[in-house]
Amino acid sequence: MLALVAAHLALAGLLPLLSARSHRAAFLVGALLPAGALVWGLANAARALGDGVTETTSWAPALGLSFSFRLDALGLVMLVLVAGLGALILAYSAWYFGPDSPEAARSAALLLAFAGAMLGLVLADDLLTLYVFWELTSIASFLLVGQGGEDRASRRAAVQALLVTVFGGLAMLLGFVLLGEAAGTYRISELLAEPPRGPMVGAALVLVLIGAFTKSAQLPFHPWLPAAMVAPTPVSAYLHAASMVQAGVYLVARLSPAFAGLALWWVPVVVAGLGTMLVGGWHALHETDLKRLLAFGTVSQLGFLMVLFGGGGRFGDVTALAGMAMLLAHGLFKASLFLVVGILDKRAGGRDVRELSGVGRALPGLAVMSVLATASMAGLPPLLGFVGKEAAFEAFLDGGGTPGLLIALGLLAGSVLTVAYSARFLWGAFASKPGVAAAQPQRPEAGLTVPAWLPALGGLALGLAYPLVDTLARGYAAAYPPTGAEYHLALWHGPGLPLLFSALAVALGAGLHRLREPVTAMHRRLRTPVSAQRAYELTVAGVERVAVLVTGRIQVGSLPTYLAVILTAVLLLPGTALVLGTTLPDEQVLYHAPMQVPLGVFVLIAALGLVRARRRFTAVLLVGVIGYGIGGLFVVDGAPDLALAQFLVETLTLVVFVLVLRRLPAHFREARSPRRVALPKALIAIAGGAMVASSAVVVSGARQQAVSDVSREYIRLAPEGAGAYNVVNAILVDFRALDTVGEITVLLIAAAGTASLVLATRYDRHRAERVISGSGGPEHEEEVLG
Amino acid sequence: MSTLVTLPVLLPMLGAGLTVITSRSATLQRLIGIAVLIAVAVLAAVLLVAADRTGPIVAEMGGWAAPVGIALVADRLAALLLLVSTLVTLAVLVYSIDQRVADYGRETPSTTFHPMYLLLCTGVSLAYLTGDLFTLFVAFEIMLSASYVLITRRTSASRIRSGMTYVTVSLTSSLLFLTMVALVYAATGTVNLADLAAQVGELPDGLRTVLALLVVVVFGIKAAVVPLHFWLPDSYPNAPSPVTALFAGLLTKVGLYALLRTQTLVFPQDGSKTLLLWLAVATMVVGALGALAQNDLNRLLSFLLVSHIGYMLFGIAVFDVAGIAGTVLYIVHHITVQATLFLVSGLITRRTGTVSIDRMGGLAKTAPALAVLFAVPALTLAGIPPTSGFVAKLALLQAGAGSGVATAAVAGVVVASSLLTLYAMARVWVRVFWGTPQPPLSDPDPTDELVVGTGSTPRPMVAAAGSLAAVSVAIAVAAGPLSAVTGRAAEDLLDRGPYRTAVLGEEAR
């Protein structure tokens, strides 16, 4: 199965080469692979309904990462949708995109890559494998919605789709990891066999549901889906109706057998699903753009599916049977309807219900096909949608108690809306409207109509061949607790509440369509201040505002501030630990030799003077004084060689400084800092010094041996091993010679760096017209240094 | 075998000397640089295999056994990071050679660039390999002083000024580093890391905390941990892109490596877990928010760099095998991807003449190769599967999820800042690659070395950046063996036994 997925991705990489010659050929070649996948899936259907077909390829075992796949009943249904509709939509695209379409080459490759990722997603038997493909579909969706990103609407829609779905995806990833850590495995089949429990699992499930809700556009994350309708119609049909957006539902369906018994799982799913079904249906009633109408319809149907799959543990296996039938039905009718909209858009000049008129008369074939698909959507017999809806009502009405009845009533209301917007779709697309000029559509070629006909006919065929669907659905529903009486998907169960509900839905829905004008007027008056789209925009804008605010406060661009923060960090972290956690050694002497006192005072005074100095020359001199004072301390401590080195360095530095000073202004140019700045600076500096000094005292007091083992070894080894009687020398040039080499290197680097700066600057001054610049191109440097 | 440990330090140093001598011949200079780095990469690979098979390999410098002499130690961690770093330095070197050839022709030599570049590599190698705290200081000094020259070299006055921030902050942190070494030596009488592992353990708790926290601050500055990160976004973006790529890829990671090494070997979790967790959270959040507030592509990438330092700090804070292994894996991934992004940013700037993403547009149409070259590392950095970023992030998430509620909550922050990273990258994509193509802007400062606004992208530079992107793809493909090695490296780090025995002999057990 990995090979199948990889083949999609690999061919997608090659398709642009083919597209350069012929877009149509690229789409058709691309369509072959999903078609092959479909054939493979159907050939393995028997095994899938039995033990399932499994395959595992290891990736990073230490992290539990592998590509594990499993084809079972649920996987097979999704595969039929993903691969079957994928092949049809790719073939349709071959005629949809014109020969000069700039979007064709990109879309061909991305659609095929998406098909591969989607295939991986629905076949995954491992949470992490599933996540890998999940995010790939989000990225593909971003690129397909945005296309070339030429207009603002598509850019915004693409970013919104990306942010919302990846937000959910990342939450889901964390949920998966928590789940995997709790269970000790990421294999879905093992998780289902032995579901983990515990407080972490609760958090994990909530996170996973966020992922499912965002992907399947559930309340309150749904606005990205209608916004994504700016994409080319084949993209909308495939990603945003038939496959990707079903992924969230699929995930819930996948995990429900293990967790549907937990209220934490089924209650949010059912509540969000019902809410989404109603809100989506309500909005669909008022859209004038046929694509957006269908998009809200999709939102609504996804809510319906959520209810069916989420309720499985609580309300028994019939919900699962209904869910499987509806999953299949929805993919088929929705793909067909989107393809119809694409044809209208291309051949009838638009998709706005206010502008389309008389299309039904001009293109009766298309109208018949649309009636077939919408009938399935509205739940009319003998189509698959009817079979599913009957089972859904049955599931919640039979033995569901009060919650079941409430859910069934909710579903009834949702179904009424569904029937109403189905009618609106047909009316909007095909009716002859008074006052609107009749469209003069071109005849669509078979390449466009055949891919639309097939799923519509599929809905009819599967409705009639309901035992087949029943077998398939049963393969999945077996994982749930059985309800009392055995139920089979069928077209006729005899009169009863479910049939009454179905009939009511159709009757009320038709009535609602008839009353469309007053209803739309009411909708307009009901403009709620709270909208999910607005919430999304506010969140994004809010994050950006916070980002600017925080960054502006923190990144002030002032070097003194940065240094102050560093010193403060030293004071706050090790400084606090020093004050709270350590004590000064008991025997503390202020000085070892009397000479240390005047020398110390001398250094301190020089340091204070340095801070106050305004003349560069004074400052340089005082730096020298401090250095000599420290050298003096070395002498007192009995280290004349160190002192000598110190004096030499100080003298040399002083000389160099004086030479440099000739070229600089005599006084520092910066104004004295005001008191409110100077005081904190002084405090931080003094505290920093005090902290380092007291650390030194504490640290020396903590030492266990006066002369450490290493020092003793140095003293022992210096004469006999290194042939040196000066231990310091032996350390510098023998024991730790590498450090010395390193420090010499540093010195050389500093010299080279300074030379390159100074020489380059001098060269610049030479060329008067380039004074501002620090240096020039490499040819200057060569002239200067070479 | 132990001679091999010294070569990654000695070869670049020798190479630096040779490039000074050959500064008249551009071709020779380039060949030396490339040959040296290839050799070091091969050596690092050999060392990695050997260390993985037989344990840490030790070289006693000057024949003096540690702790009297200096020991160079190649364990799994050091060898692995050395290998990845050298691959990056090699790719960046090739890129900058290509850039120079494209702008100034094949014959123009570079007096300071090649020696400084190789010396920087010397410092990096030494930092990874040394088993001695003071030598670590020296390594940082070599690395940083070479970086001072590279960042101020042949550039405009304003850039020198922003280089000053970098130099001053680095010097301050070096001063603190030196103070820390002195305090540690005063307390224990040794600077050998393996020896310190035992000696520090005998110090009173309070004092150990003081030293441990000082180490956190010192290496926190080097690694750009919030709130010690200011200098990075103010200085890195102003250097030429290969230099920025090198710094961003390596220097902060060397700081992080030093923190990881000292936290595991010398101060195993001295009361710093909560602190490190908070620092990790602050770093991730502040960095990611900073990136969202930027319009300058390089600054945006610099803030993302800061943000992702938080990820690696998180793994150290978790401080178990999974956490440390996650951090090591993340370092390996991040060195590569961050360098790639800066190289690509260099290509974009070169083409468009600006770093401001508002003034670009339509590059996906005019330069599709560049779009792919940006998309791959961008998705990698955002941790979108199946890239190396996803694998490394997953390792960290697992560590967080398996180690209690607090770390699981921080894992949530990791995920959130991943989203912000993706958002920042999506914004770049939307503004730079989508929209209407813009004509290239003219070079704002034609006097400096950097040539921008050419409206074209030389193939060799694309190939160099592409090869680095390929390395990061290879990391994802080889995630299996790689995560196994990082797992073993983490076990060693927490165990401390193998390292100490290798350096000090059997009695150290």
At residue A781, does pLDDT exceed 50?
no
- A166 closest CB neighbour out of B24, B135, B422: B422
Average pLDDT score over residue span B303-317: 96
To which H or E segment does residue A95 belong? helix A86-96
Query: In this structure, is residue A21 part of a structural domain?
Result: no
Which among A213, A241, A212, A246 has a CA at the least distance from the CA of A229?
A241
Smallest Cα distance from A671 to chain B, Å = 19
Contacts of A689 in chain B (CB under 8 A): none
Q: What is the mean pLDDT of chain B?
A: 93
- Assign 3-state DSSP to chain A and report helix, strand, coil percentages, each to 5: 75, 5, 20
What value does the mean pLDDT take over residues A269-278? Answer: 96
Show residues of chain A in contact with B412, CB under 8 Å.
174
**Measured between CB atoms, which of A58, A707, A735 is closest to B69?**
A735
Tell me if A163 and B419 make a contact (CB, 8 A cut-off). yes
- Return the ∠ at Cα B219 (arms to B147 and B43), rounded to 5°: 60
Q: Smallest CA–CA separation between A64 and chain B, in Å? A: 10
Residue A505 domain flag: yes
Contact B68 A746 (CB under 8 A): no
Q: Which domain holds residue A380?
A: 263-514
Res A768: pLDDT: 43
At B265, the pLDDT band (50, 70, 90 cuts) reads very high
pLDDT per residue over A403-447, tens digit each?
899 999 999 999 999 999 999 999 999 999 888 888 888 899 999
Residue among B97, B102, B123 nearest B257 (CA): B123
Confidence class of residue A771 from pLDDT cuts 50, 70 and 90?
A: very low
- For residue A666, the model assigns a pLDDT of 82
Last residue in a domain, options A465, A490, A514: A514
Smallest Cα distance from B79 to chain A, Å:
20
Q: Maximum Cα–Cα distance for chain B, whole Å? A: 70
Count of structural domains within chain A: 2
Helix (H) / strand (E) containing A419: helix A401-430
Q: What is the pLDDT of residue B110?
A: 80
- What is the spatial distance between Cα A118 and Cα A247, in angstroms, rounded to a whole number? 8
Spatial CA neighbour of B89 closest among B34, B152, B171, B153: B34
Q: Which residues of A touch B70 (CB under 8 A)?
A: 735-736, 738-739
Question: A667 phi and psi, to 5 degrees?
Answer: -115, 150
Kindly determine whether residue B23 and residue A745, on different chains, have CB atoms separated by under 8 Å: no
Beta-carbon separation of B190 and A709 below 8 A: yes
Q: Which residues of A touch B447 (CB under 8 A)?
A: 770, 772-773, 775-777
Q: In this complex, do B447 and A552 lie within 8 Å of one another by their Cβ atoms?
A: no
pLDDT digits (tens, 9 = 90+) for B340-380: 999 999 999 999 999 999 999 999 999 999 999 999 999 99
Strand partners of residue A265: none
pLDDT (tens digit per residue) in A534-564: 999 999 999 999 999 999 998 888 888 999 9
Query: Which of A178, A721, A749 comes nearest B149 by C-beta?
Result: A749
Using an 8 Å Cβ cutoff, are A355 and A363 in contact?
Answer: no
If you measure CA to CA, which chain A residue comes closest to B232? A555
Other CB atoms within 10 A of residue A518 CB: 9
Residue A706 lies in a domain: no
Give the model's confidence band at A120: pLDDT under 50 very low, under 70 low, under 90 confident, else very high.
Answer: very high
Give the span between the Cα atoms of A745 and B16, in whole angstroms.
10
At residue A764 the predicted structure's pLDDT band, cuts being 50, 70 and 90, is: low
Q: Tell me the backbone φ, ψ of residue A585, rounded to 5 degrees.
A: -60, 150
Taking residues B22-36, report their average pLDDT.
Answer: 93
The answer to whether A736 contacts B134, with C-beta atoms less than 8 Å apart, is: yes
Looking at residues B245-262, what average pLDDT do you find?
A: 94
pLDDT digits (tens, 9 = 90+) for A183-210: 999 999 999 999 998 888 999 999 999 9
Q: Which amino acid is at A579?
A: V
Residue type, A53: V
Decide if pLDDT at B249 tops 80: yes
Most A CBs within 10 A among B5, B68, B278, hence the mutation to make, goes to B68
Q: Do A581 and B154 touch (CB under 8 A)?
A: no
A–B interface: beta-carbon pairs under 8 A: 351
Distance from CA of B343 to the nearest CA of A (A): 21
Contact call for A710 and B67, based on CB within 8 A = yes
Q: Which of B157, B186, B213 sits opposite A700 (nearest CB)?
A: B186
The distance of A59 to chain B (nearest Cα, Å) reads 5
Specify the pLDDT at position B446. 74
Q: Do B402 and A181 touch (CB under 8 A)?
A: yes
pLDDT of residue A437: 87
Return the minimum-mean-pLDDT range out of A363-377, A518-532, B65-79, B181-195.
Answer: A518-532
Contact B290 A786 (CB under 8 A): no
Does A60 contact B480 at a Cβ distance shorter than 8 Å?
yes
Residue of B nearest to A167 (CA): B419
User: Between chains, do B138 and A555 touch, taking CB under 8 Å as contact?
Assistant: no
pLDDT at position B480 is 95
A759 → chain B, closest CA residue: B154
Please identify, among A482, A514, A546, the residue that sits at the C-terminal boundary of a domain: A514
- B274 vs chain A: nearest CA distance in angstroms? 13
Residue type, B115: P
- The residue assigned the tokens 């060569």 is A782
**H-helix or E-strand containing B73?**
strand B71-74
CA–CA distance, A208 with A211 (Å, rounded to integer): 5
- For residue A335, pLDDT over 60 is answered with yes
Residue A287 lies in a domain: yes
Radius of gyration of chain A (CA): 38
Lowest mean pLDDT of A104-113, A157-166, B151-160, name the range. Answer: B151-160
Scanning every residue of chain A, which has its alpha carbon at the shortest distance from the alpha carbon of B24?
A786
Residue B160 has pLDDT above 80, yes or no: no
pLDDT beyond 60 at A589 = yes
| pLDDT at site A765 | 56
What pLDDT, in 10s, does the model give residues B68-111? 999 999 999 999 999 999 999 999 999 999 999 998 888 888 88
Which of B138, B190, B483 is closest, CB to CB, to A739? B138
pLDDT at residue B471 is higher than 60: yes
Query: In the predicted model, is pLDDT for residue B293 greater than 60?
Result: yes
Is residue A632 in a domain? no
Residue A118 counted as domain residue: no
Contact check, Cβ <8 Å, B402/A777: no
Residue B176, SS3 per DSSP: helix
Note whether A60 contacts B402, CB cutoff 8 Å. Answer: no
> Across residues A584-593, what is the average pLDDT?
81
Angle value at C-alpha A662, between A657 and A668, nearest 5 degrees: 80
**pLDDT at position A529:** 66
Residue B217 CB contacts under 8 Å (≥ 6 apart), including other chains: A566, A569, A570, A573, A574, B176, B228
Kindly determine whether residue A61 and residue B480, on different chains, have CB atoms separated by under 8 Å.
yes
**Confidence tier at B115 by pLDDT (50, 70, 90):** very high
> What are the helix (H) ranges across A311-357?
312-315, 317-347
Q: Which residue of B has its CA nearest to A704?
A: B188
CB atoms A756 and B153 under 8 Å: yes
Contact check, Cβ <8 Å, A772/B156 = yes
pLDDT at B193 exceeding the cut of 90: yes
Residue finishing a domain among A490, A514, A538 = A514
The reply to whether A180 falls in a domain is no
C-alpha distance from A728 to closest chain B C-alpha (Å): 13
CB-CB under 8 Å, A779 with B480 = no
* Structure confidence by residue, pLDDT tens digits, A638-673: 888 889 999 999 999 999 888 888 878 888 877 777
Query: Strand, helix or coil at A595?
Result: coil
The whole-angstrom distance between B87's CA and the closest CA on chain A is 22
What pLDDT is attached to residue A779?
52
Residues B77, B83, B89, B92: what is their CA dihedral angle, to the nearest 10 degrees? -120
Contacts of B389 in chain A (CB under 8 A): none
Determine whether the interchain pair A181/B401 forms a contact, defined as Cβ–Cβ distance below 8 Å. yes
Look at residue B271 in the predicted model and tell me its pLDDT: 64
Chain A partners within 8 Å of B408 (Cβ)? 178, 200, 203
Note the pLDDT of residue B455.
84
B162, B391, B423, B504: which to substitute to probe chain A, counting the most A Cβ within 10 Å? B423
pLDDT for position A785: 40
Looking at residue A688, its pLDDT comes to: 94
Mean pLDDT over the full length of chain A: 90
> What's the gap in Å between the CA of B378 and the closest CA on chain A?
12
Closest residue on chain A to B212 (Cα) = A574
- Written as six digits, the tokens of B191 are 């600077």
Q: Is A751 contained in some domain?
A: yes
CA A172 to chain B, closest CA, distance in angstroms equals: 10
Whether residue B475 has pLDDT greater than 50: yes
